[in-house]
Amino acid sequence: MKILNLYACLGGNRYKWNEVKEDIEVTAVELDPELARLYQERFPDDNVIVADAHQYLLDYYQEYEFIWSSPPCPTHSRARFWGHGRNGKSPKFPDMKLYEEIIFLQNHFDGKYVVENVIPYYKPLIDAKEKDRHLYWTNFNLPNTINSRHFNGMCQGTGELERLKEFHDYDFIKYKGEQQAIQIARNLVDYEAGKTIFETMLGIVKKEDINQTELF
């Protein structure tokens, strides 16, 4: 199965996919070369490309059977909206690439897809499935629970990076790039949620989810 993992970061969503299906070919696209290096270190069998994920989707979407996209969330996040005027932050236009990709995949892609982002400070322009702290746009039904783990309170107080290290099973101090390691850790998709969504996309239904609606 050929999979495209866009805005791959450190592969939080992808971490447990091989536990579900071994014969997968994953292409990961990440613009930050340091994140791309660490992703390749973490997933040596994946094809990692340093490029603009938005443009890569447009150029190569037809080559894949499943696409996961996690476009940058800061301009949509409630945290930034609530923080206007603090620490020199000023309002920004929401990045419409998020909705460009949703519309594009809805109308041009024949495979299965997931677009993931935070719950925004505004009403989403396209209806999504809300699960815990995230919104998901998919062309398959998600189960009643996606097994995402309890995150509340983890980003408060001292020792946050250490807690997120344990939560994500990754040592973020390895990152030596231009972004803040703590922000990367906060934004990483919970691998249990990524695993459950991947299982659902493949049509694997767990006993606890048998009351969900039809998968496809």
Per residue in 7-20, pLDDT (tens digit) is 999 999 999 999 99
> What proportion of the chain, given as a percentage, has pLDDT over 70?
84
- Per-residue confidence (pLDDT) for residue 213, from 0 to 100: 42
| Whether the predicted pLDDT of 86 surpasses 70 | no
Quote the tokens at residue 112.
Answer: 């299965």
> What proportion of the chain, given as a percentage, has pLDDT over 90?
68
C-beta of residue 128 within 8 angstroms of C-beta of residue 122? no
C-beta of residue 14 within 8 angstroms of C-beta of residue 8? yes
Structural domains for the chain: 2-84+92-151+191-209 (3.40.50.150)
Q: How far apart are CA 134 and CA 178, in angstroms?
A: 25
In which band, very low, low, confident or very high, does the pLDDT at 83 lie, cut at 50, 70 and 90?
low
| Whether the predicted pLDDT of 101 surpasses 50 | yes
In which band, very low, low, confident or very high, does the pLDDT at 24 lie, cut at 50, 70 and 90?
very high
pTM score, two decimals? 0.88
